[in-house]
Amino acid sequence: MPSPATGNDAGLADPLLPRGDGTGRAGASSKNKYRYWVPAADDKEVLAAEERGGEDGRPLLYRTFKVRGILLHPYRLINLARLIVIIQFFIWRMRHRDSDSIALWWITVVGDFWFGVSWLLNQASKVNPIRRVPNLALLNQQFDPPGGGGGGSSSSQLPGVDVFINTVDPVDEPVLCTMNSVLSILATDYPVDRHATYFSDDGGSLVHYEALLETARFAALWAPFCRKHRVEPRAPESYFAATADGPYAGDAPGQFVDDRRHVRREYEEFRERLAALFTIIPQRSEAYERESTKRDGARATYMADGSHWPGTWMEPAENHKKGQHAAIVQVMLNHPGDEPQLGAPASSDSPLDLSAVDVRLPMLVYIAREKRPGYDHQKKAGAMNVQLRVSALLSNAPFIINFDGDHYINNSAAFRAAMCFMLDGRHGEDTAFVQFPQRFDDVDPTDRYCNHNRVFFDATALGLNGLQGPSYVGTGCMFRRAALYGADPPRWQPDDFSKLLDNPWRQFGNSMPFINSVPLATHQERPVAPPASLDGRLTAELTDVSTCAYEDGTEWGYGVGWVYNIATEDVVTGFRIHRKGWRSMYCAMEPDAFRGTAPINLTERLYQILRWSGGSLDMFFSRNCPLLAGRRLHPMQRVAYTNMTVYPISAAFIFVYDLLPLMWLSGAEFYIQKPFPTYVVYLFAGIAMMEVSGMVEIRWAGLTLLDWCRNEQFYMIGATGVYPAAVLHSLLRLVGLKGLPFKLTSKPQSASGGEAKERFAELYEVQWAPLLVPTVVVIAVNVAAIGAAAGRVATGGWSLAQIAGAAGGLLFNAWVLLLLYPFALGIMGRWSKRPYLLFVLLVAALAAIASAYVALLAVLAPGFVPPFRLGRWSGVGAIISPASWRF
């Protein structure tokens, strides 16, 4: 990719398309996606302010766009019309309390009311979608001009960034994937001396530690190669798996092919070394164990220097197992210093000519926090709070960006794009975090289980962007450190840090070096300047802030840092920050800023949804309930958070509706609401208007019809199996019980584009679990209902008028089955590679059920089923009566 543009007008040719090179160029498909967006009303004022240098001399580093009125006004009008229809529908139902079961009537009234409320909560946050586009060229001109050595010299004025990356298990989260994430960070396009990486290994594994050492060595070749040739993406696994390179953007085209070949060969050897760690470490430990004269019965895990590994051993032992080991903080790569360091020319030992390339690497730190029995270690939130304290003692950058171990930087200009919002002259000081969308590799082409979740990231998030900002979704998010410390935004409390330090030990714990670092976190101009060396005192301090007991009696996990005691610590942490009055921004780039892996197995995906939905309900029934927030939370932001936390409740009513087709199995007529035709008209009118609104929404959001269908389908899959479990979990928690255990999601084992068949193998694996049972029951009930209805029609049990009246119910059955189609494919396993088999199976099941239904009626109610003719067959002419059948 080309280097960041430096001209004043660069990046404005097509400002809706913020590419990694800052030029704003994009393909025709991307331009088509954004054709319904126009500059906001104040855009001319913004451009004029840019010419003056911004407000108060600060630059205006992003532009704002809104949806064209030709789509936005009809979208709002349709939603208003549907709201009127919903209100009229409830008025009509309350005036016509007539049903064959008044109890069921009340259930459906409450259910319809809840569906109306949840729809209104969902739509209310999307009436004013806003897209904000960073101006990378202007950022570079103002803070990192090319003459100053944008690669990382001391003249760069970009603020410091601390990068947090988290992982737990080198098997469930493949170590190669995690190390690719680290490599993409070390090679990203941001001043080398102004960002540091903190790697949290929450399992305390020696595999991760030695893999990080190998990664640091390989990065000495990989990062300079990326800078010299400006390649994208900068995760080698994804880069080498790409089928074709884009236009060359580096400074040495004649050397590119040879350099690439050499680096690829070195990368293959690097991969082999990582894979060999799982064999080398046990073999080494066994060899040292044989030589050791001190045996205590436990087989230790040894480091390369022959010392015991202080973390988790491969054979668990006291003080060396998961949940019980010492704290480890190790600086793998020291701070590189302020001045560029050019590499060596090509030689026999090093074929790459790096004589014009800065070969420095950013600071890299390994962290494994202490684990002790009897402590709740708070999973990912606890690990990130330790990273927050350790980083404050070393680099203390004013901004922090966090990644899951399976996410890598896909666009090396991502950090700069986030800075456009943090440093902007309008709302920069009041912006607490910038959230990027989640994008994934290794998802099947049809996105069967809606892993991309584009309706949320490309529609709902833009609606939230027009309010107080998007919610925090756990990864790919840049924070202002001060906001994580619990500070108020400047517009509400300009001198808030003085208030924070009134009782610092209660807030932050007893580490004076950490407390002294807190006020410095607001100084954006301060360079990242870690201590020159790790003396004994600083090492002891780093270990102390990584211990279990450090947080006892403090505000960590409540008013400071990431929030504890909830499965969705990401959403709650973002909510706590919004509740204080901070803003957030949404930033979508092309190419995507970050990419990761997602579970493509049905059961793993359902467990992921269970964790999210259960945590959301826990949030609603906690002190972080959006309804209890103060006046600093924007009213519509409160509505949006309420919708995010109560949506699983819909499952109770959806499950009842999905089982209503059981009434077709009875012999008598049954009506939920009378007059039934009017009821059906209201239902279909409301559903039709909702779908039309959805069609308009996918137009302005740039989505496809498949994106929208997958969203609808997986919502129904979740509502029939996962959300009921989430509701049960919350009910158990409310009465003081433990609730359901949440299973961590396993990641795909390969990220290589050359292993597509193996990669998608998990899509066709069937892992039976209790979560699958309710949805299987719903499918069986609806198939049985259609089959029974077909049997009644075949035997003449219904008149034409009754058939017409039942058509609406049968359409509902078919609609439910269509929405559950991905689930049905999932439980077919490898047979789902031939989807037509599912339809053959469905037809066979319907025929069998219809025949069984007719036969059952013939035995139990022979007078109910009239004779019917098979046809005018020559020599037969028979009339067969079911009453004459024998079993």
- Residue 648 placed within a domain: no
Mean pLDDT, range 716-722, rounded to an integer: 91
Q: Is the pLDDT of residue 788 over 90?
A: no
Q: Is 483 in the same domain as 592?
A: yes
- Residue 49 placed within a domain: yes
- Residue 645 placed within a domain: no
pLDDT tier at 496, thresholds 50, 70, 90: low
Which percentage of the chain shows pLDDT scores above 90? Answer: 58
Q: Is 782 exposed, middle or buried (0-12, 13-18, 19+ CB in 10 A)?
A: buried
Q: For the chain, give me the number of helices (H) and strands (E)? A: 30, 18
User: Which CATH number characterizes residue 373's domain?
Assistant: 3.90.550.10
What is the 3 state secondary structure string of 284-312?
Answer: HHHHHHHHCCCCCCCCCCECCCCCECCCE
Query: What phi-psi label fits residue 227: left (phi over 0), alpha (psi between -120 and 50 degrees) or beta?
Result: alpha
* Of residues 563 and 758, more confidently modeled: 563
Q: Is the pLDDT of residue 3 over 50?
A: no
Domain span including residue 41: 33-67
570, 618, 658, 707: which one is catalytic? 570
What DSSP element (H or E) covers 548? none
Q: How many Cα atoms sit within 13 Å of 370 on the Cβ side?
A: 17
Q: Is 194 in the same domain as 53?
A: no
Give yes or no for a contact between 507 and 554, defined as CB atoms under 8 angstroms apart. yes
**Among 67, 88, 110, residue at a domain's last position:** 67
580 labelled as ligand-binding?
A: no
At 144 the pLDDT is 87
* CA 876/CA 782 separation, integer angstroms: 37
At 303 the pLDDT is 93
State the first-to-last Cα distance of the chain, in angstroms, to the nearest integer. 76
* CA 874/CA 53 separation, integer angstroms: 95
**Residue 570 falls in the annotated catalytic set:** yes
Q: Is the pLDDT of residue 867 over 60?
A: no
DSSP string covering 176-242, please? Answer: HHHHHHHHHHHTSSS-GGGEEEEEEETT-BHHHHHHHHHHHHHHHHHHHHHHHHT-S--SHHHHHH-
DSSP letter at 320 equals E
Compute the mean pLDDT over every residue in the chain, rounded to the nearest whole number. Answer: 85
* Number of Cβ within a 10 Å radius of residue 838: 15
* Of residues 636 and 48, more confidently modeled: 636
202, 406, 424, 442: which one is catalytic? 202
- Residue 850 placed within a domain: no
Q: What is the pLDDT of residues 678-690, one digit of tens each?
A: 888 898 899 899 9
Q: What is the pLDDT of residues 194-219, one digit of tens each?
A: 999 999 999 999 999 999 999 999 99
Q: Is 54 in the same domain as 161?
A: no
List 321's β-bridge partners, or say none. 324
**Among 49, 67, 85, residue at a domain's last position:** 67
* CA 800/CA 144 separation, integer angstroms: 77
Q: Is 62 in the same domain as 165?
A: no
Q: Is the pLDDT of residue 885 over 50?
A: no
Q: What is the pLDDT of residues 358-404, one digit of tens each?
A: 999 999 999 999 999 989 999 999 999 999 999 999 999 999 999 99
- Residue 884 placed within a domain: no
Q: What is the pLDDT of residues 87-107, one digit of tens each?
A: 999 999 999 998 888 888 998
State the sign of the Cα–Cα–Cα–Cα dihedral 866, 870, 874, 875.
negative
Q: Is 425 in the same domain as 549?
A: yes
Q: Is the pLDDT of residue 650 over 90?
A: no
- Residue 658 placed within a domain: no
> Does residue 591 have a cis peptide bond before it, meaning omega lies within 30 degrees of 0?
yes
SS3 call for 513: helix
380 labelled as ligand-binding?
A: yes
Token pair recorded at residue 875: 């020599």
At 821 the pLDDT is 93
424 labelled as ligand-binding?
A: no
Give me the number of domains the chain comprises: 2
**Residue 441 falls in the annotated catalytic set:** no
Q: Is 351 in the same domain as 491?
A: yes
Q: Is 175 in the same domain as 47?
A: no
**Among 564, 598, 632, residue at a domain's last position:** 598
Mean pLDDT, range 225-245, rounded to an integer: 90
At 491 the pLDDT is 86
Q: Is 47 in the same domain as 180?
A: no
379 labelled as ligand-binding?
A: yes
Q: Where are the alpha helices (DSSP H) in 34-174?
A: 43-52, 69-95, 102-124, 136-143
Q: What is the pLDDT of residues 846-866, one digit of tens each?
A: 899 888 878 877 776 665 555
At 18 the pLDDT is 52
**If you count them, how many residues does the chain have?**
887
> DSSP 3-state helix, strand, coil percentages of the chain (rounded to 5)?
50, 10, 40
Q: Where are the alpha helices (DSSP H) in 545-594?
A: 569-579
Q: What is the pLDDT of residues 328-341, one digit of tens each?
A: 999 999 999 888 99
Q: Is 427 in the same domain as 544?
A: yes
Q: Is the pLDDT of residue 26 over 50?
A: no
Token pair recorded at residue 838: 């599912």
Q: Is 348 in the same domain as 449?
A: yes
- Residue 611 placed within a domain: no
pLDDT tier at 294, thresholds 50, 70, 90: low
Reference 423, options 760, 139, 95, 87; nearest CA is 139
- Residue 173 placed within a domain: yes
14 labelled as ligand-binding?
A: no
Give yes or no for a contact between 816 and 655, defined as CB atoms under 8 angstroms apart. no
Q: What is the pLDDT of residues 501-560, one digit of tens each?
A: 678 888 999 999 999 999 888 887 776 767 766 788 999 999 999 999 999 999 999 999
Q: Is 290 in the same domain as 413?
A: yes
Q: Is 38 in the same domain as 180?
A: no
At 778 the pLDDT is 92
What does the radius of gyration of the chain's CA atoms come to, in whole angstroms?
31
